[in-house]
Amino acid sequence: MADARLPPGWTLQQIADVSGDQEAVVLDPNRAVKWVAVDGADEVLQPETVLGFHGLCLVKPVHDDDWYMGSLYEDGSIDCWTAYGDLYEALRGL
Asked if residue 48 lies in contact with residue 62, where contact means CB atoms within 8 angstroms, the answer is yes
Q: Residue 33's domain spans which residues?
A: 12-92
Average the pLDDT over 56-74 and give the result.
96
Query: Which residue type is seen at 58?
Result: L
- Please tell me the predicted confidence (pLDDT) of residue 40: 83
What are the CA-CA distances from residue 82 to residues 13, 34, 44, 71 (Å)? 24, 11, 14, 11
pLDDT tens-place string over residues 1-58: 446 789 999 999 999 999 999 999 999 999 999 999 888 889 999 999 999 999 999 9
- Please tell me the predicted confidence (pLDDT) of residue 3: 60
Interatomic CA distance for residues 27 and 44, integer angstroms: 18
Is 2 within a domain?
no
- Total count of domains within the chain: 1
Is 1 within a domain?
no
Is 55 within a domain?
yes
Residue whose C-alpha is closest to residue 29's, from 8, 7, 13, 5: 5
Is 5 within a domain?
no
Residue whose C-alpha is closest to residue 93's, from 74, 77, 70: 70
Query: Which residue type is seen at 79?
Result: D
Is 4 within a domain?
no
Average the pLDDT over 63-90 and give the result.
96
Q: What SS3 class is residue 52?
A: strand
